């Protein structure tokens, strides 16, 4: 039985019915350089050609800037597969990307300590 809103792709007992590599047509490398913190946003252009359900779901989540990691979590897909899907959308002009911006050095000790403190409060 499918979970609410998941359609035929997920099953409560069996899990994902379609393997992740099938979603990306077996491709493992995106044509656009993306990392987990890259921001993606819909351009408003209508993509030409076939889009799978995951492409459509990803595009719907990109109305405002969102990270690749957030899209992967929402789609419940591995990051590598999500990057391929998002790069398809960039290639057809439906998405734009920008690299992550760090206001500070990402290895700045005070930044890392603040992240660690936040994580500790969540546990």
Write out pLDDT tens, residues 5-53: 445 555 555 454 455 556 666 666 777 888 888 899 999 998 887 788 8
Which residue would you say has higher pLDDT here, 5 or 117? 117
> Taking Cα atoms as reference points, which of 81, 88, 71 lies closest to residue 37?
71
Cα 77 from chain centre? 8
Helix 53-61 with 79-91: angle, nearest 10 deg: 80
Residue 45: left (phi > 0), alpha (psi -120 to 50), or beta?
beta
- Rounded distance between C-alpha atoms, residue 62 and residue 94, angstroms: 10
Please say if the pLDDT value at position 59 is more than 90.
yes
For 93, other C-beta atoms within 10 Å of its C-beta total: 13
Query: With contact defined as beta carbons under 8 Å apart, do 94 and 43 qualify?
Result: yes
Question: In the predicted model, is pLDDT for residue 72 greater than 80?
Answer: yes
Crossing angle of helices 68-75 and 53-61, in 10° steps, is 130
| Whether residue 100 has pLDDT greater than 80 | no
Q: Are 74 and 94 in contact (CB under 8 A)?
A: no
């Amino acid at each position: 039985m499918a979970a609410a809103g998941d359609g035929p792709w997920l099953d409560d007992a069996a899990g994902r019915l379609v393997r992740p590599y099938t979603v990306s047509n077996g491709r493992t490398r995106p044509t656009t350089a993306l990392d987990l913190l890259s921001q993606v946003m819909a351009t408003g252009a209508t993509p030409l050609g076939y889009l799978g359900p995951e492409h459509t779901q990803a595009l719907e989540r990109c109305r405002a800037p969102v990270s690749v990691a957030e899209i992967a979590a929402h789609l419940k897909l591995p990051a590598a597969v999500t990057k391929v899907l998002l790069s398809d959308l960039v290639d057809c002009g439906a998405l734009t990307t920008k690299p992550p911006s760090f206001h500070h050095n990402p290895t700045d000790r005070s930044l890392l300590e603040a992240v660690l403190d936040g994580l500790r409060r969540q546990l």
